[in-house]
Each structure stands twice: as C-alpha cells, then as structure tokens.
Amino acid sequence: MVEVRAALAAEVRELARERDAVIFAHNYQRAEVQQVADIVGDSLELARRASEADAAVIVLAGVRFMAETAAILATGKTVLLPHTGAGCPMADMITAAHLSDWKAEFPGVPVVMYVNSSAEVKALTDVCCTSANAVEVVRSLGSPRVLFAPDRNLGAWVAAQLPEIEVIAWNGYCPVHDEVTLERVRDAQALHPDAVVIAHPECRPEVSAAADAVLSTSQMMRYAAEAEASEFIVVTEAGLLHGLQAAAPEKRFYHLAPAMICADMKLTRLEHVRDALADLSGEVVVPAAVADAARASLERMTAIG
C-alpha cells in the first residue's frame, strides 16, 4: 500500500513536470497531498504565490474559492481544482444578491470580504482580507464603520482588536470552527495545563478570547516553531497537525477535537491531483468582467498586507 502511494506520488510529480505545472496545497489538505505540493500555505500565501507563479498550470489542492482566487490573480494561467466538488459552506452563506441588498442598507459604508467567498461576491467588494490580515485591512480603511462578511466570528475578532471601529458583520460561519465551545477548550486546558492554546479566528468570540494566540493556519506554524512553549492545544482543522508537527518536530500538539475536520478539504486525494494533471480537468474559469472587479478587491488587500 505504501509503495502504491509512493508510486502515485512519483507519477504526480512527473506529470507536473510534463505539464509545466505547480501544485499548491492548503494547510488543511491530506498529508499525502501536502507532500506532493510545491507550495503549502494559508489562503494569503496561496493567493500571493498564484500571482507570482512562473508555470503554465496551477493545481490548487484546496477548495473552490482558493482556486477562483488563483484564477483571478494568475491571469493567463490554467488553474485546476482537482476535486470539483470541494467548496466552502461558509463561502456559500453570502451570495451576490445578498450582498447587493446589504450594501443598499448601508450606503457609503466600505465592504471588507473574507476571501472565503465566491468570485461574484468579491466583485462587489471594496477590499478582501484573509485570517492573516483581517485586522490590518479593516484598520487601513480609516472608516468608522465597515461591513464585514461572511464570517461573523472573524468579524467579532476584528471588532475586539479595533474597538474604535464599528464592524457590522454578516451572519455566516465555518461549521467546523463554530462548533467549538469554550467548555471544550477549558477541558483540554485542565488536561494539559502547561499547553499554549492556539486558535483560528473562525472560532466563536469566547473561544478566541480564551486563546493565547489567534492566528491564521500558517501563522500558527510559525508561532509554534518560534514560541518557547513546548506543548500546544490546537483549535483548528485536523489537517494542520501535519504541518505543525513538521514545523516543530520536538514539540507536542494536542488537537482540541477529532471532529474538527473539513469534509470539503478532505475530498482531494492524490488520484484527483493525478487525474487533473493527466487530462487538465477541473479548470476553474472566472468570467472576465467578474474577474476584473474581483481582482481589484484582492489587489487592494495584497497591497495592504
């Protein structure tokens, strides 16, 4: 079995070479997919690297909004989503029609959109953000009020960091992170009293408030590697444990809950990456008018931080 997976991984790398392709994987992807990737990162890193990519094809092993972002930023390149059913339930919680109606209620108030959103929604947005730069992006606008979507929890985290700004948040959420209760975190702390709690800002406000650090997925890896602490309670999706252990092999990581698994992130297997490369299937194409408007909101973000 191990040999079969190794042969498949070698086939993927050979196909990538033949196709002049780079493979990007999000930090939540299966370990076997992360292992064949050229770049593994958080949403911000994947977006930045897509705009700089020097290859004809980008295979984006992640979910649809990440592949759309790559297609918008990497003009002229072919972007493939290996499992075309991989979406993000939070991104589906706001549509372009919802956003148009919401904006009409708050004329003149800038819209900050988490990248976990569709290209059509980004096209109606002033500026995008990710979990890594949401606070900086909102601060940079210098506006006393902002509309923030779709994640109410990331919106609440930003509001807590910037009390002088009124953050009006859409009522979306990540089903994986929003399930976590404060009680669960307290139980884990009782079991591991010396461990540092690192949480993703998609967690509920009381969970983020109880964490020692609230960070994007890649920021968590850097933090764990650099911190003096040797034990961590990890409050995010299970896939990050692979990267954390690789970033700090001598440290111990306790995943808060085995149920913290994003089913969409786990859809992609090596076979899907191989098939996408073999027949260039799963191409993500964003219509030009939508892409142009969405690119403006993404580029405003990358210019900020």
Using CB under 6 A, list all residues that contact ligand SF4.
63, 88-90, 116, 174-176, 202, 237, 262, 264-265
User: Which residues within the stretch 38-97 sit at the binding site for ligand 13P (CB under 6 A)?
Assistant: 42-43
Q: CA angle 181-183-189, nearest 5°? A: 115
CB 82 within 8 A of CB 42: no
Q: Is 116 in the site for ligand 13P (CB under 6 A)?
A: yes
In whole angstroms, the minimum distance from the beta carbon of 15 to ligand 13P comes to: 26
- Say how far apart CA 298 and CA 305 lie, in whole Å: 11
Cβ closest to ligand SF4, residue 26 vs residue 300 = 26
Residue 205, contacted partner among ligand SF4, ligand 13P, none, CB below 5-8 A by kind: none
Phi and psi, residue 166, nearest 5°:
-85, 115
- Say how far apart CA 102 and CA 110 lie, in whole Å: 11
Helical pair 288-304 and 43-52, crossing angle rounded to 10 deg: 110
Q: How would you label 15-28 residue by residue, b for 16+ Cβ within 10 Å and e otherwise?
A: bbeebebbbbbbbb
- Say how far apart CA 277 and CA 294 lie, in whole Å: 27
Cβ closest to ligand 13P, residue 200 vs residue 255 = 200
Cβ closest to ligand 13P, residue 274 vs residue 300 = 300
Cβ closest to ligand SF4, residue 27 vs residue 125 = 27
In whole angstroms, the minimum distance from the beta carbon of 132 to ligand 13P comes to: 6
- Say how far apart CA 123 and CA 121 lie, in whole Å: 5
Q: Is 217 in the site for ligand 13P (CB under 6 A)?
A: yes
Cβ closest to ligand 13P, residue 185 vs residue 221 = 221
Q: Is 118 in the site for ligand 13P (CB under 6 A)?
A: no
Residue found under tokens 């292992």: 35
At residue 178, what is the residue type? D
Contact with ligand 13P (CB under 6 A) among 117, 130, 268, 297: 130
In whole angstroms, the minimum distance from the beta carbon of 263 to ligand SF4 comes to: 8
Write out the residues near ligand 13P by the rule CB under 6 A. 27, 42-43, 116, 130-131, 174, 200, 202, 216-217
